[in-house]
A and B are shown apart, each in its own frame.
Chain A
Amino acid sequence: MLRNARTRLIFASILLSSVVTVLVLSVVYVTTNVIIEQETRSVVEAEIAGLADDYERLGLPGLAAAIDRRVLSSTKQDAIYLLTDHRGRSISGNLGVWPSSIKPGGGWVELELVRTDSDERVPISAVSISFENNARLLVGRDASGRQKFDRILVQSAGWALIAAFVLSSITSWLLTRLIFSRISEISDTADTIVSGDFARRIPVRGTGDEFDRLAITLNDMLERIEELVKNLQLTTNSLAHDLRSPLTRLRTHLDTLVLDNADQEQRDKAGKRALEEVDHLLRVFANLTEIARAEARLPKSDFDIVDVDALVSDAVELYAPIGDERDINVHAVGAAEPIEGHRALLMQVLSNLLENALRHSPNNSEIVVKLYDHPESLELVISDKGPGMPNAFIQNATRPFQTLDVSRSNPGSGLGLALVAAVARMHDGDVQLKNANPGFDVTVSLARGHTKK
């Protein structure tokens, strides 16, 4: 049973609170007793000194009268007095006879005696003195009241202990129920996810407590995992689908090559086509590898300080002549401080976006690369005057193998934007696509890393 964490917690809590209660009550008991005893003794000692004084001033008869008065006084129910002559015969007080075990002047004693006023045998704590004529005086206190108090104290300590036991049982049970119900919610969710339901999330109660924060963090993690798994499934499906057509074409070309009745010209053509198909396939794989590496968010050891201004102007300079051929003016505006990033992959991003923009721009238009500098990030906007994308397509456009061209005769592999998105995520950023009517805006934001103060 103790293998169960919850039972262990409850037991530990009960044990701990019981031990603490017992300790506290013992301390209270002991200190109370000590204090009461000291108090009693000092009162009795003061009394005996007062009575000795009376004896000095008034002699034995005066002392006896004083004792009688005290015995009769109702405020001192627990006071015990005994004044005897030198032979131990009682002169005054509420005890019958001088107990043989008490030597006068011998300090404090505890014993049981019979009170003459109540005829009860009671526990007594007393001190005694003797006078010069061998008369003796004993003054004490009936301890039965104190013993009763002791009993009550012990009894209430017992109740307190039981109360502590019950309370700690209830609170620890409630507490563990609270904790373990949240934990089992999490583990139930994990079980469901393990068995295949990736959409399940840990319930958030909205209390904003630690468990809620944990649940939110775990849910974010699950979100990302689900996205990756979905992407993987989609990529695998699309890959299988996308590779079928080029492989089929490749097979046709190879068939022509081994065909007996094909002439040299046909063979040359088939060989050239086959090479093109293979190159296309290799490019798809190279792109997939790049995406996978960017997605893996490897340690940023390959990150350098990248001069984004220079990168953009290089890219514009590289692609401007292609634009010129169709009177498309490619130019850059804005400036930004350098960022920490992967230079080659960022250039690939610019290249992919500029190639997309060029492919979709009408003749005699413009493509603008805008740079916006922010303290925490950097924004790169590539705007063209092309037709844009249907809004329904936009949200999936950065997934692998998404292409608007259903026939897929276009040279685009459907991986360009996927790589852009992967590289953006690698730089803790993202990609946003927007129809600008007319035209199309792609915004890539990149986190600055540690480059800005």
Chain B
Amino acid sequence: MSRRILVVEDDLETLDFITKGFEAQGYVVETATNGRDGLYLATNGALDALVLDRMLPELDGLSLVQSVRAAGINTPILMLTAMSAVDERVRGLRAGADDYLVKPFSFQELDARIEALMRRPQDQSDNRMLSCADLVMDLERRSVTRAGRALVLTPREFQILEYFLRRVNRVITRTMLLEGIWDYSFDPHTNIIDVHISKLRRELDAPGEFQMIKTVRSAGYIMSDAD
């Protein structure tokens, strides 16, 4: 069964852009252009994810999130905003949204985040081991090996690798890494994340081994279990 997603956005061009993008990914997309219709659709139907604009006619995005949560619906919600201010993000998350994206955004970023919201990280903590192809991470002994070779990682590199290992075969954007690993939502003007990833890659991939963390053009990175 294909997954259903509700997009509430009053700007028709943005709505069209998001809808086409998700349909191309195989989603069934429902749409609304104001907060009231959005609330009706959100509370009457099985949905896998909600994408809401922060500013909507009739019922604004924050109130919509609160109403949806008050109705006992736990569907993942991603808020979109034209307001870039960092504290808007905090306000949206406090209201009950799961993630927040500042306009303008690339569709890849939105897609990656929705994907991440719908498939929460696999909880592998009970077996204390994470793995991907020939890479094995022992969470208890804090050790990582690839093809039996022990990797020397800084605590931060270990953290980044764990983040990827819990999201194998999913696109992870640079801002997701910055928020997920460093817990900062600021705007670096340089390629700091790329530098950290390439440092990690140097340790991760020995000559002859396939590149485990691949760059996804204009989106971010993906950890794949095969070349």
Contact = CB atoms under 8 A, between A and B. Distances in A.
A78 interface: no
Interface stretch (B67-75, B117-125, B134-142, B179-187): B179-187
A260 B89 CA distance: 44
A317 B190 CA distance: 15
A377 interface: no
3 nearest A-B pairs in the assembled complex, by CB-CB distance: A344-B86, A286-B84, A348-B186
A213 interface: no
Nearest to B200: A321
A299 B87 CA distance: 12
A282 interface: yes
Contacts of A175: none
B85 A348 contact: no
B185 A344 contact: yes
Given A293-B85, A321-B195, A322-B195, A411 B189 contact: yes
A314 interface: yes
Contact of B90 (A289, A302, A318, A322): A302
Nearest to B86: A344
Given A322-B195, A344-B87, A355 B185 contact: no
Interface residues on B, range: 20 to 34
A290 interface: yes
How would you classify the secondary structure of chain A's contact residues: helix, strand, loop or mixed? helix
B104 interface: yes
A152 B21 CA distance: 109
B192 A283 contact: no
B156 interface: yes
B199 interface: yes
Interface string B5-41: 0000000000000000000000000000000000000
B208 interface: no
Interface string A318-361: 11011001000000000000000011110110011001001000
Interface in B159-191: 182, 184-190
Given A293-B85, A351-B188, 17 more contacts: A285-B84, A289-B85, A302-B87, A302-B90, A318-B188, A318-B196, A319-B192, A322-B195, A344-B86, A344-B184, A344-B185, A345-B186, A347-B184, A351-B186, A351-B189, A352-B189, A411-B189
Interface of A: 282-283, 285-286, 289-290, 293, 302, 314, 317-319, 321-322, 325, 342-345, 347-348, 351-352, 355, 358, 411-412, 416
A344 B188 contact: no
A348 B189 contact: no
A286 B182 contact: no
Contact of A321 (B84, B87, B186, B196): B196
A351 B186 CA distance: 9
B204 to A, nearest CB: 15
A290 B84 contact: yes
Interface string B58-92: 00000000000000000000000001111100100
A283 B104 contact: no
Given A283-B187, A314-B184, A289 B87 contact: no
Nearest to B85: A293
A106 B199 CA distance: 129
Nearest to B104: A282
Nearest to A413: B189
Nearest to B84: A286
B161 to A, nearest CB: 15
B110 to A, nearest CB: 16
Contacts of A358: 190
Contacts of B188: 318, 351, 355
Given A282-B104, A290-B84, A302-B90, A347 B186 contact: yes
B85 to A, nearest CB: 5
A322 B198 CA distance: 11
Contacts of A302: 87, 90
B199 A321 contact: yes
Interface string B187-220: 1111010011001000000000000000000000
5 contacts: A282-B104, A283-B189, A325-B195, A351-B187, A411-B189
Contact of B84 (A289, A352, A355, A411): A289
Most chain A beta-carbon neighbours within 10 Å: one of B102, B182, B195: B195
A286 B84 CA distance: 6
A261 B188 CA distance: 39
A314 B182 CA distance: 7
B225 to A, nearest CB: 26
A351 B190 CA distance: 9
Given A286-B84, A302-B90, A322 B186 contact: no
Contacts of B87: 302, 342, 344
Contacts of A289: 83-85
Contacts of A343: 184
A305 to B, nearest CB: 15
Nearest to A304: B90
A322 B84 CA distance: 26
Contacts of B156: 317
Contacts of A344: 86-87, 184-186
A282 B189 CA distance: 12
A345 B182 contact: no
A17 to B, nearest CB: 60
A347 B84 CA distance: 16
A322 B199 contact: no
A278 B192 CA distance: 21
B200 to A, nearest CB: 10
A424 to B, nearest CB: 16
B212 to A, nearest CB: 19
A395 B189 CA distance: 24
Contacts of A317: 156
